Amino acid sequence: MWTAGIVVFLTIWLATQNVIVSCGLSIGYYAVAAASGFFLRKVSCSPWLCFAVHVAIASCLIAVLVYSRKFKEGESSAQDMPDQQMEPAQSKDDKVRDFALKEAPSVWNAYQVLVDAIEVQNKKIAELRKTLEMFDSNVGDDADVRNLSRVHDEMVASRDAIKAKLEEAYLQARKFAASPDRKEFDELRKKAVEDGVKEAQSALRRYKAMKVPK
């Protein structure tokens, strides 16, 4: 029992570096071990069984201490974690969207118009191709398919150009937030937004012209 008590003291001291806690738990161990030993002797148990019970008590004390220590460390780490790390991670597209809705909503609206229009155009092209194939027509030589594909490609190019401007504006905004003394970052952000507005206006004009019957 005495040896096990010393092991308990040393183990707890190594884990906590706290002499008071180590002594307190060791004394507690001796008290529990003495009570259990007295009971075991009353029922005429063998010395080996007594020894095993003492070791089990010591092991339980050490296990409880280690578990509680790890639990507290985990809570402390969670509390010390910066707020931004606790928030769900956003994708690049989500961050650009949130930025655009705040800084350049007209550009984002134009982008969404083109996204929707491209989706519609894809369906039109797919339906026309399917119809032509049904009638054994040469899809590659069909003028209407080529025209729809040209319009589609122009809208995709405009969509990608607008998104590139928004991404550039967002990147420069983040750089400026990190280094507010670097005014060129803010100037580049403003220029990217202005270029995005121009590209959006031009793209919408072209899109509206495409929709007018000729």
- Which sequence spans correspond to the domains of the chain? 2-86, 92-211
**pLDDT confidence bin for 156, thresholds 50/70/90:** very high
Q: Which structure tokens are listed for 127?
A: 């339906």
Mean pLDDT along residues 11-31 = 54
pLDDT band at 13; cut points 50, 70, 90: very low
Q: What is the pTM of this model?
A: 0.57
Spatial CB neighbours of 10, under 8 Å, sequence gap ≥ 6 = 22
Nearest to 94 by CA among 34, 166, 24: 166
Annotate the chain with DSSP letters as a single string: -HHHHHHHHHHHHHHH--HHHHHHHHHHHHHHHHHHHHHHHHTT--HHHHHHHHHHHHHHHHHHHHHHHHHHHHHHHHHHS-HHHHSPPPPHHHHHHHHHHHH-HHHHHHHHHHHHHHHHHHHHHHHHHHHHHHTT--GGG-HHHHHHHHHHHHHHHHHHHHHHHHHHHHHHHHHHHH-TT-HHHHHHHHHHHHHHHHHHHHHHHHHHHHHS--
> Is 60 exceeded by the pLDDT of residue 161?
yes
CA distances (Å), origin 112, targets 83, 106, 164, 204: 31, 10, 14, 11
What are the tens digits of pLDDT across the range 26-77?
565 555 556 555 555 555 555 544 555 555 555 565 555 555 555 455 555 5
